[in-house]
Chains A and B, each alone.
Chain A
Amino acid sequence: MRHSIALTIGPASFRIGSAWPAPIAQLAHLYRAYPTPPEGIADFTVRLEPSKPWRRHIRPSIHITGDHGLADAAPMALAHGLLAAEMGMNLQMALGWRRHLLLHASCVEKDGRALVMTGESGSGKSTLAAQLGERGWRLMGDEFALLDLHSGQIFAFPRLISLKNAAISVMEAEAAPDRFGPLLRATAKGDIRHLSPRADAVARMAEGAMPALLLFPRYGFAPEIRTVGQGEVFMRLTQASTNYTALGEPGFTALTRFVQTVPAHAIDFPSGEDAIALVEQLWAEAR
């Protein structure tokens, strides 16, 4: 491939090849504080290829693939190349990672203990984690939390935070401009802007933390806290995991232990400030 970069995010490393220079240059800028793969050997290969041979120059169109790919993945515009690269890395993790149970969840850490938040896209979990990450918590990830199969610790996967629509201006008010990627207008998920995690989140990305609280946030409702039964927690977490089935028995053992030991609540909130207040309240109670 003509253009490439190699980087390590948490326990996983990637080499990303691209037919075009722009996505690689953007990655190089936003991931500037991240290490390269150990000994130069990456866990996964990601490729950003022209969707048809002639689509490298004429109306460039990116096909995302790599070691693991989806046959029916929709091609993307070159202007959204950074998003394509991020999706390519997510795809490798979702389909290929086996060293942890992968939970589709955001995660922050304080005093060596982790708060895990999971929910559908639009639930506010990503924005909430991004905000907490600027307010005294360590951001461990806005998309995946990695549950260790043996120790029960959560490990970080702090890739770029993917801010969508209204969350973009919320975070523009909190973080320095040089941590932001280009504004990507009119993607399949609306407007998207990527944000580099804070330096401490990157420097400490290899540190695990025992999970202390699990939340199911829901944005846009009157404030409410509900306890969630273990059966429902188990079911929702298997649905939120891309590799639960693939891990087999170790995944079952790790997830049942998580469900039996970590208190879980569903929280509804009408605004980001309400959410932060609810989280701090539940966090204090969980101690």
Chain B
Amino acid sequence: MTATLLVQTLRDPASAARLSAPDWNALIAAARAERLIGTLAYRLEHAEVPAPVRPILADARTEAVREARQALWEADRARAALAPLNIPVVLLKGTAYAAAHLSPAQGRFIGDLDILVPRAALDAVEAALIAAGWEWVKPDPYDDAYYRQWMHELPPLIHRDRDRMIDVHHSILPLTARPKPDAAALLTDSIPISEGSLKGLRILSPTDRICHAAAHMLADGDLSGGLRNLWDIHCLLTDLAPSEDLPTRTAHHGLTAPVAQAQRLARHLYAPHEKPAPLPLQDRLIAKRLLATNAWGQETQKPLRMGYYLRSHALRMPPMMLARHLVTKWRKGHRG
């Protein structure tokens, strides 16, 4: 469980002074496997590190700056394509953090562009994006129907020239998931970006950002990339103004349990402390899964991981629907 080393170094950069050469090899492999190498590189920017580590971290910082620039350009192109529709367009996750210079953005890997739009505007958004050069990724009609019927997003689109993916959401959890976040309130309370080329786009309110990050990590995903998601949550919680009423907002979205769990996990793994507070059993299992990377950057705890894939599906879909989904997938798999 050398991801422990990664978590410890992110939490306390000064502890890097005590690392041996094998520790460094393990730390770098774990940071790359968890897509936290850029974040680590910024945390260690002013730390004393061995000479061969310096260029590795410098490369990671340069890469993160380039990633962010490219992500913001992609957001700008979506802005240009959707501007004539006159609807609120909310940036989510990595691109939002970068656009608003929020603290999780520093060194963060940014993959696809995620945006939130009003559900009523989905067809118009789809048409406008396709007119501007985005194309469907999934040629599979079952997957396409599945997305449209049950998911909280359009099937992913990819830009034909720039080769970048956009995920258009109308909510932050699938329609089949038990919690039903208030998508209209996410849009109403979103905050406009007031300066720069992305003026006109919006980001979620500070409390909704935390609700979304926690929902994404604990009520939606299979926990892969979980250490990075949890780092986002740690940063967002640290930056939350004392005047913000997080409990009321999480209750409003029906996300009290995942947000509370995310808070406990973030505090346990990332908050500076002498001795970590003990975690409830179900949190301990998740923490174990989050830290399941060995000194070679390999995933250990495979059975646990499989368990989380099932858990993720079960959370998102009521049982009958789950059976339907798995059977369709299974049949397809066996037809080849």
Contact = CB atoms under 8 A, between A and B. Distances in A.
B225 interface: no
B29 A45 contact: yes
Interface in B16-67: 21-22, 24-25, 28-29, 32-33, 50-53, 55-56, 59, 62-63, 66
Contact of A41 (B24, B32, B298): B24
B56 A40 contact: no
A67 B25 contact: no
A251 to B, nearest CB: 10
B14 to A, nearest CB: 19
B296 interface: yes
A1 B22 CA distance: 13
B32 to A, nearest CB: 4
Output the residue of A17, A39, A45, A99 with the most chain B CB within 10 A: A45
Contact of B59 (A15, A99, A248): A99
Contact of B52 (A39, A45, A68): A39
B50 A41 contact: yes
Given A41-B25, A98-B62, A99-B59, A66 B52 contact: no
A98 B51 contact: no
A47 B296 contact: yes
Interface string B215-257: 0000000000000000000000000000000000000000000
A66 B69 CA distance: 27
B298 A49 contact: yes
A41 B50 CA distance: 9
Interface in A182-239: none
Nearest to A15: B25
B297 interface: yes
Q: Which bracket fits the contact residues of B?
A: 20 to 34
Main secondary structure of the interface of B (DSSP, over half): helix
A263 interface: no
A49 B296 CA distance: 11
A45 B33 CA distance: 11
Interface in B299-325: none
Given A49-B298, A98-B59, A246 B66 contact: yes
Contacts, number: 51
A40 B66 contact: no
Nearest to B20: A40
A43 B50 CA distance: 12
Contacts of A68: 32
Contact of A39 (B51, B63, B298): B51
Contacts of B66: 246, 248
B52 A67 contact: no
Contacts of B29: 45, 67
A98 B52 contact: no
B53 A67 contact: no
- How many interface residues does chain A have, given as a range? 20 to 34
Interface string A39-69: 1111101010100000000000000001110
Contacts of A248: 66, 69
B297 A67 contact: yes
A246 B63 contact: yes
A39 B50 contact: yes
B297 A41 contact: no
Nearest to B22: A40
A38 interface: yes
Contacts of A1: 296
Contacts of A41: 21, 24-25, 28, 50, 52-53
A13 interface: yes
B25 A45 contact: yes
A37 interface: yes
Interface in A61-94: 66-68
Interface in B254-308: 296-298
Nearest to A8: B52
Contacts of B33: 67
Contacts of A17: 296
Given A39-B52, A40-B22, A47-B296, 9 more contacts: A1-B296, A38-B51, A43-B55, A43-B56, A47-B298, A67-B28, A67-B32, A98-B62, A248-B69
Interface of A: 1, 13, 15, 17, 37-43, 45, 47, 49, 66-68, 98-99, 246, 248
What 7 pairs across the A-B complex have the smallest Cβ distances?
A: A40-B21, A41-B52, A98-B59, A67-B32, A45-B29, A38-B52, A41-B24
28 contacts: A13-B52, A17-B296, A39-B21, A39-B50, A39-B52, A40-B21, A40-B25, A41-B21, A41-B24, A41-B25, A41-B50, A42-B25, A43-B55, A43-B56, A45-B28, A45-B29, A45-B32, A45-B296, A47-B298, A49-B298, A66-B297, A67-B28, A68-B32, A98-B62, A99-B55, A246-B63, A248-B66, A248-B69
